Structure 1
Amino acid sequence: MSSSFFLKPGAAKQALKKRKNIASKGKAGGKTGGKKQNATAPPPKKQRRAKVDDEEIASDDDELSNLGDDTLVFSDEEVEETAQDKRLRLAKQYLSEIERQEAEREGDRELSQSVEQRLKTEYLDSVGKLRTTIAANLTSCEIENILKHRLHHAPLCTLALSSDGKHLFTGAKSQYVLKWCTASGKMLDKCDVQPYREEPETGKKRRSHVIAICLSTDMKYMALAEGGPHIQIWCPQTMKHVKTFKGHRDSVSALVFRRGTHELYSAAKDRSVKIWSVDELAYVESLFGHQAGVTSIDALSRERALTAGGSDCSLRIWKITEESQLIYNGHRDSIDCVKLINEEHFVSGGVDGTLGLWSALKKKPICTTQLAHGKGDNNVANWITAIAVVVNTDLVATGSCDGCVRLWQSNPNARKLQQLKSISIAGFINGLTFNSDGTKLYVAVGQEHRLGRWWRHKDAKNHIVVINLKFLKPARK
């Protein structure tokens, strides 16, 4: 028999009442002192005390003997876990997993110190206050691999790396998105975005090309912009189409998922920023304020989005929950790309060739580097076309059409951007992304700019370049 049992509701009360009635009837039928006792009269004081005493010390077996067999419900299940117990259990599992990982990584090093450092790092990362210095430890960088495929014979436009760094997704001026294995360098799968799309202005049909790709942190969803006003949602694991979001009135130019969520932010040439709930496959709201088409967007963990306003020469931080926006000005020409270093600092680049380092607390850049990629043959500044950062560190990468990818060290406290390395890659750098610890840099290269056909580098190749970065002490994640 189980150590715990439960009575049906009201069964014990009815049984006790039944016993009282039987006891009172038995005493009413007996004789006391040769006289018949009135059944309704209360029993003597001593008898009442004895009765109460008997009821208090009655064994469980006596009580249960008066109850039917159907009044017992036995359960072998454990007591239901409370919310506090669940949190405690999950915390213990989390600590055990961290201890196992740190023991494998550090070996003989003091385990408690490793776990403490790991917990501190993850907490600072979650609140957006983690600061890690890795750029000063950079020793060398060299091209490790070239990824190319016949389906990407056109210029590469964008790329996205999974959070674990195992899979890379690339898009080009063709209707295909390719999925790569970063370890082997082989193409694993592909998806056909859309053979042709209809231009809203002219009604003519033209081949789609993938302008932007972004992945959710858990690799459950992939969002992509196919050169028109629609956003397509795919499953990156199966490469199956899930949903098409319709709402923008002009071509979508940039996409980003908020870290750790399925909340999608999109920017388009219709000067709007839209928020989507991919879990519910629904539109949420629109944000307005830019005076020109929005060219770039980025977000981290907080409910905020950072956007570049293109030819309106402004950057904006959208405080979504507060329903407000912060405006930043400093570029003299159209802004093409922007990236968050952490929740408090970001970098931007544009047509004027200026690389800017910003603080969210100041409306003007705290540092600017003029002609970051030099001048072209026509004596005009080379357009900064792509930026990548290792989040919460001081390492920044930029690309242009000058045949080089440049690595920078950002120091907001010293108000300084310092160039560290330059890697020679011919062509337009249309996309850049680091892995989580900054040891790999993936570069999308094309003969043309991702948004148009103003120039063409005939000697360049349309491919993905993988750069290996070596540090004295890589960043721990």
Structure 2
Amino acid sequence: MSSFFTLPASQKKRKREPPSAGAGAKRAGPVKRKEERDESISGSDISDDDVPAARKEQYESSEDEDEDETLEGEDPAAKRVRLAEQYLANTQKEVLDDVGFDAADVDAENLRRRMGERLKEDTAESRGKLYRWIADGLDWSRAERKVTRVEGKSVTAVAVQGQFVYTAGKDRAVSRWEIPSGQPPTKDGKQVGRASKKPKRVAHSAGSRREKSNRDYQQHTGAILCIAASPDGRFVATGGTDKKMIVWDAPTLKPLRVFTQHRDTVTSLAFRRGSNQLFSASRDRTVKIWSLDELAYIETLFGHQDEVVDVSALAQEKCVTVGARDRTARLWKVVEESQLVFRGGGAPSKPKRDRAAKGTAEPDLPEAKPHNEGSMDRVACIDDETFITGSDNGSLSLWNIHKKKPVFTYALAHGLEAPLPLELVSAEEHPDEAVRGEPQPRWITALRAIPFSDTFVTGSWDGCVRAWRISEDKRRIEALGPVGQEVEDVTALLEQEGIPASSLVNGALQAMQVGAQSEAGVAHGVINDLAIVDVGERGEEGVLVAAAVGTEHRLGRWSEMSEAKNRLMLFEVPRKVAGAELGEDGDEGVNGVAETNGVVGEEDFAGFD
């Protein structure tokens, strides 16, 4: 017995009968009515009463023109869309005629310019080239100073990340400070209290020396000498004399992990730019690499012949270290497993006199005694090919990785220290003047730079944080003066006395300039560490300089300044007012500053030299 479900597929199909003339006539009617309905719908979307009188005639004329110009194969729905687009285009044209500009085009132009600048910066940074020339656009003398007292022992380290500053000291304490915004707190639109002018401590964690024998103790049991904050703001790392490197949770300052792989004091820490890879330097003559994402140790770098006292790194898997009394700076190429050695030592070379001064009658002025370099203590990377070092003879040296000797050396960057009184030098009742000794240079105790820019700052114990810049040809270091101070120019004073500045050689002019500036110093104490970051997007609002000021040097207690105080100092350096930098039409740039705003533009871009 067969059924519909058991029949073959060929028998299930029903044969279609050929359409008859009557059937075709019957189907032609509904199709025609459907087309008429579509046409009526397309014409009834906008009634005559809804269209404004000013645009009714234009709309009807455009509809009449396009009614006959229906594209081939265009259905009614597509036609309606085309008519609507044309209506919008005509309306936009009227608005442009009335207003005069298109806001969308202005936004697109601004976006294109900003994206172009960002693309150039990213490309230059990927190539490791210096591309930001911002030193001349900053007003260092008008820097606003904000100071807060830090209780305890000497402050040795400082780091800045976002809106927070992290400090550490010899009292085994780590603190987190909030940078004051300068605006008073508000409530319901009303002013409440005054604007905060001092950093506010929002987190604090102190170790204990009594737990020195406890291996499970998760905090420091000795003086902290260095601190670093991760670029993403998640971690803070510290190292000290207890041979520990501790990783903290940045918001709460709770210890996450304690590393004890170093066999001596941890002296310096530096995060790789844009990642959580960390480099640590130690007195055990090694440099170790860590990954804080996994809280794990990676590897150890060997090569220095003395303690490694400072380390600096940029975006690539490279770092530069200085080895104190081995007087070498080393560039470590981690991926290639190689290193480049740059040897210092000796005294700065004697500068050449100006050609205009040759052959002229000049008074015999004493030349400053050259001071040999005994220890290379500080380093800061500028780009992948340029870095700066600071030494105990007060010299700043500019290096290029393609040369084994410094490209330029600036002697006596922070001047000379006056000799001690005779009663402090000798115990005799009437000591000889010869026992007093000669003035000694002030060491470079702190050095930091803005990566891929021409700007860096230094510190010593002369009471000043000094700003410097690198020349456009990357062959000279030029002084910009102390931060937050206005001093007289020694060169102008010498010209008034008829003494040409070119007659002062071997750093004598620098020493006189520094001596005049030290009288107006504001950072009384030893500047043990510095941090410098941009304020605003790409430094549009200036830069922020943080200084850790202590009563004694971070690496020892051989010199203590009893009149100094342990402080955290913030210098907010604004940009210069562009009064003389107006455009051709007399218009100022954004925020009253030139349009380039210290960032390389299309014409002065110099990242690919």
Common fold: TM-score over 0.5? yes
Pair 1:467 & 2:586 matched: no
Report what 1:252 is aligned to: 266
Question: Relative to 1, partners in 2 of residues 1:244 and 1:169: Cα closer, same or farther, differing over 3 Å?
Answer: same
Report what 2:454 is aligned to: 394
Pair 1:168 & 2:165 matched: yes
Pair 1:298 & 2:298 matched: no
Pair 1:455 & 2:559 matched: yes
Report what 1:322 is aligned to: 336
Question: Relative to 1, partners in 2 of residues 1:391 and 1:199: Cα closer, same or farther, differing over 3 Å?
Answer: farther
- 1:363-414 Cα distance to aligned partner (Å, 9 max, x none): 1111101111111123111111001111111111111112222111112625
CA distance in 2, matches of 1:475, 1:246: 44
| Aligned with 2:289 (options 269, 275, 296) | 275
How far has the Cα of 1:362 moved from its partner?
1.4
Say if 1:366 and 1:412, in contact at 8 Å, map to a contact too: no
Larger Rg: 2
Pair 1:343 & 2:384 matched: yes
How far has the Cα of 1:153 moved from its partner?
2.9
Pair 1:180 & 2:194 matched: no
Report what 2:505 is aligned to: none
| Aligned with 1:426 (options 509, 524, 532) | 524
How far has the Cα of 1:142 moved from its partner?
4.1
- Counterpart residue type for residue 167 of structure 2: T
- Counterpart residue type for residue 549 of structure 2: V
How far has the Cα of 1:109 moved from its partner?
6.7
- Counterpart residue type for residue 569 of structure 2: V
Q: Secondary structure at the match of 2:273?
A: coil
- 1:124-149 Cα distance to aligned partner (Å, 9 max, x none): 23442241111122334345343434
Pair 1:212 & 2:316 matched: no
- 1:2-44 Cα distance to aligned partner (Å, 9 max, x none): xxxxxxxxxxxxxxxxxxxx88xx69xxxxxxxxxxxxxxxxx
Please list, as runs of the form range in 1=range in 2, the aligned pairs for 1:25-44 lying within 5 A after superposition: none
* Percent of residue pairs identical: 34
Pair 1:381 & 2:441 matched: yes
Pair 1:365 & 2:362 matched: no
CA distance in 1, matches of 2:227, 2:482: 26
Report what 2:585 is aligned to: none
Say if 2:207 and 2:221, in contact at 8 Å, map to a contact too: no
CA distance in 1, matches of 2:238, 2:180: 24
| Aligned with 2:464 (options 370, 395, 404) | 404
- Counterpart residue type for residue 567 of structure 2: H
CA distance in 1, matches of 2:297, 2:140: 45
CA distance in 2, matches of 1:358, 1:222: 30
- Counterpart residue type for residue 334 of structure 2: I
How far has the Cα of 1:243 moved from its partner?
0.3
- Counterpart residue type for residue 128 of structure 2: G
Report what 2:64 is aligned to: none
CA distance in 1, matches of 2:557, 2:261: 27
CA distance in 2, matches of 1:316, 1:414: 20
CA distance in 2, matches of 1:299, 1:388: 11
Say if 2:221 and 2:242, in contact at 8 Å, map to a contact too: no
Structure 2's unaligned 5+ residue stretches are: 1-5, 14-102, 182-198, 215-219, 346-372, 420-438, 484-520, 577-592, 601-609
Report what 1:132 is aligned to: 132
Please list, as runs of the form range in 1=range in 2, the aligned pairs for 1:121-160 lying within 5 A after superposition: 121-142=121-142, 144-149=144-149, 152-160=151-159
Structure 1's unaligned 5+ residue stretches are: 1-21, 28-49, 55-102, 201-205
- Counterpart residue type for residue 220 of structure 1: R
CA distance in 1, matches of 2:293, 2:543: 33
How far has the Cα of 1:285 moved from its partner?
1.0
Normalized per residue, which structure has more strand?
1
- 1:332-388 Cα distance to aligned partner (Å, 9 max, x none): 321111000111111110112110011122111111011111111231111110011
How far has the Cα of 1:199 moved from its partner?
9.1
How far has the Cα of 1:292 moved from its partner?
0.3
How many pairs does the alignment contain? 374
- Counterpart residue type for residue 441 of structure 2: A
Say if 2:552 and 2:560, in contact at 8 Å, map to a contact too: yes
Normalized per residue, which structure has more helix?
2
The Cα RMSD (Å) is 2.7
Please list, as runs of the form range in 1=range in 2, the aligned pairs for 1:12-161 lying within 5 A after superposition: 110-142=110-142, 144-149=144-149, 152-161=151-160
CA distance in 1, matches of 2:213, 2:416: 35
CA distance in 2, matches of 1:187, 1:372: 33
- 1:239-284 Cα distance to aligned partner (Å, 9 max, x none): 2110001111101001111112221111100000111122222211
Q: Secondary structure at the match of 1:435?
A: strand
How far has the Cα of 1:458 moved from its partner?
1.8
Say if 2:130 and 2:382, in contact at 8 Å, map to a contact too: no
Report what 2:545 is aligned to: 441
Say if 1:386 and 1:431, in contact at 8 Å, map to a contact too: yes
Say if 1:263 and 1:275, in contact at 8 Å, map to a contact too: yes
How far has the Cα of 1:464 moved from its partner?
1.1
CA distance in 2, matches of 1:358, 1:466: 29
CA distance in 1, matches of 2:417, 2:382: 29
Say if 1:197 and 1:208, in contact at 8 Å, map to a contact too: no
TM-score computed with the length of structure 2 as normaliser? 0.58
Pair 1:308 & 2:349 matched: no
CA distance in 1, matches of 2:386, 2:156: 26
How far has the Cα of 1:195 moved from its partner?
4.0
Q: Secondary structure at the match of 1:211?
A: strand
CA distance in 2, matches of 1:346, 1:188: 35
Deviates further, 120-129 or 341-350 = 120-129
How far has the Cα of 1:108 moved from its partner?
10
CA distance in 2, matches of 1:412, 1:360: 17
